[in-house]
A and B are shown apart, each in its own frame.
Chain A
Amino acid sequence: MSVPAATDTPDRTLALVPDSVRTRRTAVAFDAGVLLRITRMAMAHPWRMGLGFAATLFAAAAQLVIPQLIGEAVDHAQSLLSAAADEAGAREALVRAATLILVTSVLRGLFTMMQNYQGEAVGQLIGYHLRLALYAKLQSLSFSYHDRVHTGDLMTRGILDVEGVKLWVSTGLFRAMLLVILVGGGAWLLMSIDWVLGCVALSFVPFVAVGASLARLRLRHLWYALQEELAVLTRVMEENLGGIRVVRAFVSQAFEIARFDVISRRALAIAHRRIDVFVKSTTTMTFAYFISMGLVLWVGGEKVMAGELTIGELAAFLAFMAILQMPVRQIAWTVNAIARTSTCGGRLFEILDLEAEIRDRPGARDLEVRDGVMRFENVSFRYRKEGKGPPVLRDVSFEVHPGRVTGIVGPPGSGKSTIAHLIPRYYDVDSGSVTIDGQDVRDVTLASLRRRVSVVQQDPFLFTAAIDNNVNYGDPWAERSAVRRATEAAQLNKYVEQLPEGYETLVGERGVSLSGGQRQRLAIARSVLPDSSVIVFDDSTAAVDAATERQIHEALADVTRDRAIIIIAHRLSSVMYADEILFLEEGRIVERGAHDVLVALGGRYAALYALQTRMSEGVPEAAESGGT
């Protein structure tokens, strides 16, 4: 395809530095459907939600009452100053006001606690259910989905998006309700005392609410941009440390630091911009609040002097403003929480609503293995359905029988591994069929199919767990003796048994690090353990030396006597002893037969055989046939 024209001017730009992330200014979606769906999830916990709502209501009420009580107390205290006061009555009133304030404060505390706790609890419960649903969904989505989607992206959804949705109840719903009651109720109360002063006292509210919300949304964009730059930075650091030998080999420390600096500075610039936006917004909000407080003092003070207002009422105004300061700032959090929930929830539901492409047909039955004959009939397949280009497999037909070994060889890209992928139905064929004992793999349940088909990959994924847990992965109820037998068959038992903790040794980052060959042998043990009828070795002994490979096959013969074996390999010594060898080229079977037959045929296989034999004689330039 497009190969850009080669130029002679040196490219002085720094290599391997991705373009900077553009701050996304996309409109923040407030997707009502998503919010409704999350609210419905919350309503699945009616008791907690009811308690939370009630608590919010009472907390807000208590909050509103306190400034008035303070105002009354101040008035009583002032009346004590005037000579004409009924001293005993005033004192009694003071004690009453104090008691009321104390009781209201305690109630406010208790209700706020309840509201917060229930909100957080429901959030945690929603997070719990979403996490489980996501886990189940990700495990069930087909290979083709996982081929397309980046693992990092899925992890972001699993971690950050679940967190984002959790906020909905506590920071979104309940707080919004609290705010509405507080601001609304407060406005009503203040206005009923003195509507001019009330307006002055609340004049900062719309300003702060709108300003802070806009700033929050802008901060969100910056936050995303920062996260993306930091993700790039993380990757650069990880690759640098992982490839430290390359770095040292090319003495590219200066280059690597320069690369780090470019991205790091970009991230820092965003971090600084974020600070600026944040600071400008919060300080201005506080200022606006204080300004209106000053105005209340001024206007209210003049009114007190004019005898239109008592000092206690003025104090109540001021106390109310003190109480309102925090919640008004929180309007911004609430707006942010709503936006975040909406986007995070949207992204989660996007996955949860996917249907796995490969799934059981309605009424699918379990696979019944009688003779254990697996057939490919005129199978054609391509990975990208919309793609042009030739299919990966074209009209492939063959049959394997228990107790027989079938070898598959061919140039890279000829479709060898694809055959391995179609048997356990990782993908569905485009045309033709794959059957086991006459049952199309698409008609049986996936669970039963995959129990009877094992595929050993070339580059196996091992789990961070004990060797025992890794070997029994397909059948965690297997007896320890079965684990030992499987490990023996894979010629790994000697190694495992000399480890201090034997089969309990941890594999992976915190345990032993296995060599490529050992990993492959562990994968072989894992695959022969379950009682499968078809075992496919997909180039799974490439990193194992020839001698050990022979031992593995001898040992396996015992375990696999009544199973059908397919060996995919590029080392011919791995398939030479197969009962039948299929030679694949560009998705077609071009030659088939036993080793001797194929060598005698003098075709592709014979050429490859000659090439591999000559290779060990050290004449690499001589071979010309075949090719990629």
Chain B
Amino acid sequence: MKAVAPAPTAAPLRPPRAVVGSQVSYEEEMFGAAFDGRVVRRFWAFVSPYRRRVYIGMAAVLVFTLTQVAVPLVLRYAIDDALVAGEAGLAVLRLSVLAFFVVVTLNYASNFVQERVVGRISGSLLFDLRRAMYRHLQHVSLSFMDKTEVGRLMSRLQGDVNALQEFLETSIFAIGDFVLLIGIISVLLALDFELGLFTLSVVPVLLLVRIVWLPHAKRAFLRAREASSVVNGALAESVHGVRTIQEMGRESVNFALFEEKANDNLRAHLRASKFSNVMIPIVDTLTGIAMAVVIVIGGGMVLGQELELGVMVAFIFYVQRFFDPIRSLTIQYSIMQRAMAAGQRIFEVLDVPVEVRDRPDAIALPREARAIELDDVTFGYVPGSPVLRNVSLRVEPGETVALVGPTGSGKTSITALVHRFYDVWSGAVRIGGHDVRDVRQDDLGAHVAMVLQEPFLFTGTVYDNIRYNKADATRARVEAAARAVGAHDFIGRLPEGYDTVLDQRGSNLSLGQRQLLSFARALVADAPILVLDEATANVDSYTERQIQRALARLLEGRTAIVIAHRLATIRGADRILVLRDGELVEQGTHDDLLTLDGLYARLYRLNHASFDDLAAEEGGGAPAS
């Protein structure tokens, strides 16, 4: 089959300034020490619940290895003591056949136990580790989550955990291999010391070859892996961006660039393949040499009656086996290096501090606690540069307060503090007079509902997205909430109504619809206090009006802080608080503030539709949160 490349149309001679895919691979390969005591110790904490089974597994590995060593010995016994002995040996032969069956049955049983135990434990451990990380991430400080890419964390939850899988599944067998190697060497030397030495003389040669080979091969393998990830990255880009690619007519340029990468990938893999295959004739040659040694020298010794024939046969069998453990042990070495690096990265995640925790004597928040108070609060994300400075404000029960101010003025930080996403540097945040740090987080969360600016939906049905974590929400309540925010109609028009599955973060809904669903979700949560970050101006006027109505319904009877971007919302609020550079500069009603003729009046005059327009002009810099 030929790949049909669209012919580049009249491409000028000079190369295009273009790339496809990411230029760097995402492989985070580290070749550190093969053994890191700290990692192993911490890792043991995860293994320890399975301690007993690990011991059983180890015992099985030992038994298994011993039986493997024993098989040629039984053969030797059968040949020397039965076959060579003639007629008298018949009983011995049957005895040795019996011994053989006993040995192989033991071999079978121990093999079964070792494989099963190791496989199951390593499977469980991987899930335990992943769960521990996932669980920890649910509680680590949000500022850590803010600055860490999801992809980065996912690579630890998956890539690193999988790197450990390889290690776990092979580690116990590595012990077996080691024992096997020692076993074979001792048996060879015990059977006949001289012949044993001669035969084993090929081992250092193999070790030497592998030591020279390993670093080069490892580089080649790593290159191949990187090339794969680069080429797959480019493919992913072309799948995700296919519309833009067709729009801009980039097909032929992209194809040419992709071909380069695919070519590079091909070369890297061919090279890696050369490296892995070159070991085959080397090992085979060494095996041949060892066998020749056994036959020539051993045969000579048989003549001098120094060696029994069965021993020679046993030697031949051992020679065919003893390169296997050496081979797998050198592979094991790189697996261990990778595992240590992966372990380090996993424990790094587990070590991210959890800053916001319940106090031991944390209390439940009474339902009637509804006033919000910030008392002389100073707070920031980076030590030394506070985002809020000595802010004091109070929201009375049932009151709706609008927060207004340029981007970076600290609006979002205030809402985050009310929900105790972070702890204040100084001052206090109180709900109904209780410091949020004295309250159980679960309780605080049930008390303060939050609607984020970007509606976030999960893959799942509309119904599940609205009820979310409320296990006691009835279908009727979910529908009532949807009706209240005016989402019921469009949900009814979806192919399966409430049971329609939203895919890829609700991409089958419009932004406005997603917003309404997130309102409904907050309504089901039914908290007395609401913190709402209004979406900026990117929905159409029809949806906009619906959202305004839903908002009015949502705010009804609740204490609310709204980060407002729309004039309608702002004017609907009982009070407006104007923030600038982390300080509360003005507050009052719309008319009050216009009369005051300060920042608010200026913001109002400068634009009519949205209050965010001043971002660039007033706030400068990047948003603080």
Contacts and interface: CB of A to CB of B under 8 A. Distances in A.
Contact of B474 (A8, A73, A99): A8
Interface string B264-303: 0110011001100110111111011101110110111011
Interface stretch (B99-107, B327-335, B340-348, B393-401): B99-107
Interface in B459-491: 459-460, 463-465, 467-469, 471-476, 478-479, 490-491
Interface stretch (A255-263, A399-407, A557-565, A588-596): A255-263
B27 interface: no
B418 to A, nearest CB: 11
A32 interface: no
23 contacts: A1-B493, A8-B474, A9-B475, A78-B309, A101-B288, A101-B292, A102-B292, A105-B288, A128-B266, A242-B456, A243-B456, A244-B137, A290-B71, A291-B104, A311-B79, A319-B320, A460-B244, A472-B17, A476-B18, A477-B14, A510-B22, A570-B539, A615-B544
Main secondary structure, interface of B, reads: helix
B18 A159 contact: no
A235 B505 CA distance: 11
Interface string B55-96: 000000000000000010001001100111011011001101
B610 A294 contact: no
Contacts of B493: 1
Nearest to B493: A1
A133 B255 CA distance: 10
Closest 8 CB pairs of A and B: A251-B445, A105-B288, A109-B284, A109-B281, A476-B16, A570-B540, A275-B119, A249-B450
- Which of A6, A254, A311 counts the most B-chain CB atoms under 10 A from its CB? A6
Contact of B243 (A9, A318, A461, A516): A461
A241 B147 CA distance: 12
Interface stretch (B2-10, B44-52, B210-218, B378-386): B2-10
B419 interface: yes
A130 interface: yes
Contacts of A457: 243-244, 247
A129 B3 contact: yes
Contacts of B421: 245, 248
B204 interface: no
Interface size class of B (residues with CB under 8 A): 35 or more
Contacts of A129: 1-3
B303 A80 contact: yes
Main secondary structure, interface of A, reads: helix
B549 A620 contact: yes
Contacts of A132: 3, 5, 255, 258-259, 262
B548 A620 contact: yes
Interface in A1-17: 1-12, 14-16
Nearest to A416: B540
B142 interface: yes
Contacts of A237: 134, 154, 157
B127 interface: yes
A301 interface: yes
A241 B145 contact: yes
A287 interface: yes
B444 A251 contact: yes
A418 interface: no
A294 B246 contact: no
A611 B303 CA distance: 111
Nearest to B490: A628
Nearest to B287: A105
Contact of B127 (A11, A128, A151, A267): A267
A248 B448 CA distance: 11
B601 interface: no
Contacts of A477: 11-12, 14, 16-17
A1 B491 CA distance: 9
- Which of A15, A99, A150, A240 counts the most B-chain CB atoms under 10 A from its CB? A15
A297 B505 CA distance: 66
Interface string B427-450: 000000000000001101110011
B232 interface: yes
Contacts of B469: 15, 250, 252, 254-256
A322 interface: yes
A74 interface: yes
Contacts of A278: 115, 119
A612 B104 CA distance: 86
Nearest to B112: A283
A99 B299 CA distance: 13
Interface string A451-471: 100110100110111101100
A251 B494 CA distance: 29
A240 to B, nearest CB: 8
A628 B540 CA distance: 11
Given A4-B475, A136-B6, A463 B295 contact: no
Interface in A484-543: 509-510, 516, 526, 530, 542-543
A546 interface: yes
B598 interface: no
B458 to A, nearest CB: 5
Contact of B123 (A11, A138, A272): A272
B108 A290 contact: yes
B426 interface: no
B605 to A, nearest CB: 12
A140 B460 contact: no
A419 to B, nearest CB: 15
Interface stretch (B177-185, B186-194, B496-504, B555-563): B496-504
B154 A412 contact: no
Contacts of A27: none
Contact of B303 (A12, A91, A127, A571): A91
A305 B119 contact: no
A106 interface: yes
- Which of B270, B309, B613 counts the most A-chain CB atoms under 10 A from its CB? B309
Interface stretch (A111-119, A188-196, A433-441): A111-119
A20 interface: no
A473 B248 contact: yes
Contact of A412 (B89, B158, B543): B543
A534 to B, nearest CB: 13
B303 A87 contact: yes
B299 to A, nearest CB: 4
B245 interface: yes
Given A15-B460, A40-B1, A117-B273, 9 more contacts: A73-B299, A112-B281, A113-B281, A128-B266, A287-B111, A294-B100, A461-B240, A473-B18, A615-B568
